């Protein structure tokens, strides 16, 4: 009898051991790419506070709005913003149709591979590049161009597709928030029509939940069909103080959680935290030079200075990428 009981006990222990190491139990952690620590704990604690019925900080689902910057927050942004790399590729593709570009700046420098020289003219040069490559076609034509580029282009350093330069921990965070009743939005200084063709597939964020900078559109008929034509005129810049404005205009609710990585996100985080009730603000600090890039106060791309000071002073959550993330990018298949 004792032998039978001992065998039963051993069998039971084996079942428990197998259960504890099964994929189902391992997947119980909603943020497996985040190292255990204060940063991860602050996220989980906030989500629990606002999603627990009867709790003093409970927030109805309709008000659980979370906004995310894109460049440097959801995907990488070095050595330059990916939309600018897209624009450079478009200049090269369109060059045969514009022989005058060989002697006209900023295009002449771009065609010679001198990006720094092309951008020496500052905002004026950048605007010329963007308008030349983003305007003049219908919205459907631009959508197709973006989809083709995002499917074929490769990052100049990692050689990965740009959609593989997304951050695995942030993908998990998006899924975790949605599983707890949040509605997730992108609020980016990048072009709204550059992001909308692929954000649903990559992030699970549909086009109508993307807020970004835009150029003007004109309704007209081409070949007897109504189309929207992209004009070489700025409509809205969704960066810095423009982000709260864009949130109000496109979303109509103040977020209770906001996520960014640069001074361009500061006003969005400030506006989010100024609301009543439980609030959450997070900055991604790029501290991992081996697996990604190291930059903050001195960088022209993803400049993080005043927002970092404010985050430290006000107790916002700061992701130390090197120490808080077990992995950076999704595994390659």
Query: Residues 148-170: pLDDT tens digits?
Result: 999 999 999 999 999 999 999 99
200: containing domain: 35-79+168-324
Any bridge partners for residue 215, and if so which? 234
Sequence-ordered list of residues with C-beta below 8 angstroms from that of 164, at least 6 positions apart, any chain: 329, 330, 332
Residue 278 located in a structural domain: yes
Residue 124 located in a structural domain: no
Residue 238 located in a structural domain: yes
Sequence-ordered list of residues with C-beta below 8 angstroms from that of 165, at least 6 positions apart, any chain: 75, 76, 82, 155, 158, 329
Residue 45 located in a structural domain: yes
Query: Residues 133-153: pLDDT tens digits?
Result: 999 999 999 999 999 999 999
Structure tokens at 185: 């939005």
| Positions of E strands within 7-88 | 65-68
Task: Using pLDDT thresholds of 50, 70 and 90, give the confidence band for residue 223.
Answer: very high
Q: Could you tell me the CATH number of the domain that includes residue 214?
A: 3.40.50.1000
In this prediction the pTM is 0.91
Residue 156 located in a structural domain: no
Residue 102 located in a structural domain: no
Query: Residues 166-220: pLDDT tens digits?
Result: 999 999 999 999 999 999 999 999 999 999 999 999 999 999 999 999 999 999 9
Q: How many domains does the chain divide into?
A: 1
Residue 331: Cβ within 10 Å count: 7
Residue 217 located in a structural domain: yes
Residue 46 located in a structural domain: yes
Task: Using pLDDT thresholds of 50, 70 and 90, give the confidence band for residue 14.
Answer: very low
277 half-sphere exposure, CB direction, 13 A CA radius: 17
């Amino acid at each position: 009898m004792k032998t039978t009981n001992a065998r039963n006990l051993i069998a039971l222990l084996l079942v428990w051991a197998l259960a504890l190491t099964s994929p189902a139990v391992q997947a119980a952690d909603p943020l497996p790419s985040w190292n255990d620590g204060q940063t991860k704990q602050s996220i989980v604690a906030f989500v629990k506070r606002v999603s627990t019925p009867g709790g003093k900080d409970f927030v109805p689902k309709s008000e659980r709005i979370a906004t995310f910057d894109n460049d440097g927050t959801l995907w990488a942004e070095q050595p330059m913003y990916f939309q600018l790399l897209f624009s450079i590729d478009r200049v090269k593709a369109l060059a045969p149709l514009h022989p005058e570009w060989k002697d006209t700046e900023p295009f002449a420098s771009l065609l010679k591979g001198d990006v720094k020289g092309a951008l020496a003219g500052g905002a004026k040069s950048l605007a010329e590049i963007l308008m030349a490559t983003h305007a003049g076609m219908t919205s459907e034509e631009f959508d197709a161009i973006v989809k083709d580029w995002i499917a074929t282009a490769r990052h100049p350093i990692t050689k990965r597709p740009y959609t593989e330069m997304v951050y695995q921990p942030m993908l998990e965070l998006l899924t975790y928030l949605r599983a707890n009743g949040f509605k997730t939005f992108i609020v980016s200084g990048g072009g709204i029509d550059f992001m909308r063709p692929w954000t649903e597939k990559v992030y699970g964020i549909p086009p109508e939940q993307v807020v970004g900078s835009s150029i003007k559109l004109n309704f007209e008929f081409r070949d007897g069909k109504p189309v929207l034509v992209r004009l070489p005129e700025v409509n809205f810049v969704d960066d810095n103080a423009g982000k709260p404005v864009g949130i109000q205009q496109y979303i109509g609710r103040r977020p209770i959680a906001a996520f960014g990585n640069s001074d361009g996100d500061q006003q969005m985080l400030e506006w989010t935290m100024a609301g009543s009730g439980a609030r959450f603000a997070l900055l991604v600090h790029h501290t991992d030079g081996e697996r990604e890039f190291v930059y903050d106060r001195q960088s022209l791309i993803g400049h993080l200075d005043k927002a970092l000071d404010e985050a430290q002073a006000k107790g916002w959550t700061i992701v130390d990428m090197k120490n808080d993330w077990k992995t950076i990018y999704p595994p390659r298949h």
